Homo-oligomer: A and B are copies of this chain.
Amino acid sequence: MTTRHPSGGPRELVELTGHVLDTGLFTRVLDDVRALGADYEVVRFDVGKEHDDPSTVRIAVTAPDAATLDSVVMRLHTHGANLVEVEPARLTTVERDGVFPADFYATTNLPTQVRVAGTWHPVENPEMDCGIVVELEGELEGEGDAAVVRSVRTVPVSDVRAGSRIVSGAAGVRVTPPPREAGDDSGFTFMQSEVSSEKPQALVVRQIAEEMRAVKERGQRILWVLGPAVVHTGAAPSVAALVRGGWVDVLFGGNAIATHDVEQAIYGTSLGVDLSAGRGVEHGHEHHLRAINAVRQAGSLAAAVEQGVLTSGIMHALVEGGKDFVLVGSVRDDGPLPDVRTDVLDGQRAMRAQLHSPDKGEVGFCIVVATMLHGVATGNVLPSHIPLVCVDINPATVTKLADRGSAQARGVVTDVGLFCATLARELTGSET
């Protein structure tokens, strides 16, 4: 065997099992090996005969140096490929708050296990682009020693503390392959094909409605992530009907969606556009400022509802229904509303708490409508097993969200207003 990196270069065996061929997974694995400057040899290839049979492939990856090899293995983790050899994870102690060891293992959002003290421990809260903190009782002395593993969790770099033990390198980490992306026969999979506005969207709406019904039947929560265009396109009554119908358990968004919702509830306008007449006043900014000021005067959105200042709209329905919402500010905000978290790290923590708090119940479905900023932010903290649908009239937004590494993301390029109205009619029967 000759490789580009002759015997001197380090080499690892990596294995991938599943629907390796008809999902294009194997192609992406080989592309990534080459793109990172490594090379491969296919060592074993057990191909599934029929389309439902899983395949197993094993490749030997050779790289010019150990760091590159580590990079390749971490990258292949995003495709669900794992090292064949079982080794213990290597732990490094953090020296300074907010700084990882240089060779920290960068997480994927796949279900992940870490081998410590002779056992594979599942990572409690899979999230991409984090490190993995292993909390021990006592000290590790060797594979299989007496140390007790208290927890294995992801931690973002901003939250890591000196003294924590962080997984270094890719050894001792394995992931579960991502859900099958193509060739699946379930109804929901039609959305696998390319992002396009040339799709039968009425059908798409029906399939999303079915998926939401299934999620609620499983007792899971539905997470909505909304941008202000939801209000501008006249969809607020539809979304409010969905809230009242029990189809919205938690909302993520920014100052704008809540502000324009409140503005519309109080003044009947959204960014100055009179929605019932469809007649625009482009720079009617003053209304949204007064809406913000009114809620600040009340003290909070809940207080505004209680005091009768806010009597309709999405936020009103959420407050009335006792639903959760996390509003995180951005640098372009006016105001903001008193409920908006102005520190973005604080905001990210609040979003994570909604996803990972045992008492909240599990989120089973996430739908992002008309927001790239909050959609990407949500995609960042979402484990890979929660389906994510992104709806926007701009194909670029839909593509961008999917590109950021959220393999489970599906895009729908359509009109946000008509989409919400059609979905609300489908799920609640309401004509808004």
Residues of A within 8 A of B (CB): 1, 3, 21-24, 26-27, 30-36, 39-42, 45, 47-51, 71, 74-75, 78, 96, 98-100, 102, 104, 106, 128-129, 156-158, 182-183, 190-191, 193-194, 197-205, 207, 229, 232-234, 254, 273-286, 289-290, 292-294, 296-297, 328-336, 338, 342-348, 351, 373-374, 376-377, 380, 393-396, 403, 405, 413-419, 421-422, 432
Instruction: List 18 A–B pairs whose Cβ atoms lie within 8 Å, in order of A's numbering.
Output: A22-B27, A22-B30, A26-B27, A27-B182, A34-B51, A35-B280, A42-B50, A75-B284, A99-B293, A190-B280, A191-B278, A193-B282, A194-B282, A199-B232, A331-B377, A332-B374, A373-B373, A395-B395
Residues of B near A193 (CB, < 8 A) are 279-280, 282
Question: Across the interface, which residues of B come within 8 angstroms of A194, CB to CB?
Answer: 280, 282, 403
Chain B: CB-nearest residue to A70: B286
Known: A22-B30, A418-B418. A279 touches B201 (CB 8 A): no
Indicate if the CB atoms of B31 and A183 lie closer than 8 Å: yes
User: Would you list the 7 A-B pairs with minimal beta carbon distance, nearest first?
Assistant: A200-B234, A190-B278, A198-B232, A415-B415, A418-B418, A332-B377, A414-B415
Indicate if the CB atoms of B281 and A201 lie closer than 8 Å. no
**Known A292-B157, A394-B396; contact A75-B183, beta-carbon cutoff 8 A:** no
Provide the bound-state CA to CA distance between A290 and B416, in Å.
36
Q: A282 → chain B, closest Cβ, in Å? A: 6
With A32-B281, A106-B286, A405-B285 given, is the CB distance from A329 to B342 under 8 Å?
no
Contact, CB under 8 Å: A197 / B415: yes
Nearest B residue (CB) for A403: B282
Of the candidates A232, A233, A275, the one having the most CB atoms from chain B within 10 angstroms of its own CB is A233
Closest beta carbon of chain B to A401's beta carbon, Å: 10
The chain B residue sitting closest to A35, CB to CB, is B281
Contacts of A346 on B, CB cut-off 8 Å? 342
Determine whether the beta carbon of A418 is less than 8 Å from that of B30. Answer: no
User: In the complex, A106→B1 CA distance in Å?
Assistant: 44
The residue on B at minimum CB distance from A74 is B286
Residues of B within 8 A of A71 (CB): 286
B106 touches A289 (CB 8 A): yes
Taking a contact as CB atoms under 8 Å apart, the answer to whether A203 and B278 are in contact is yes
In angstroms, Cα B75 to Cα A30, docked, is: 26
How distant is the Cα of A301 from the Cα of B377 in the complex, in angstroms? 24
A298 → chain B, closest Cβ, in Å? 9
* A99 and B297 in contact, given A202-B234, A233-B201, A331-B377 (Cβ under 8 angstroms): yes
Shortest beta-carbon distance from A41 to chain B in Å = 5
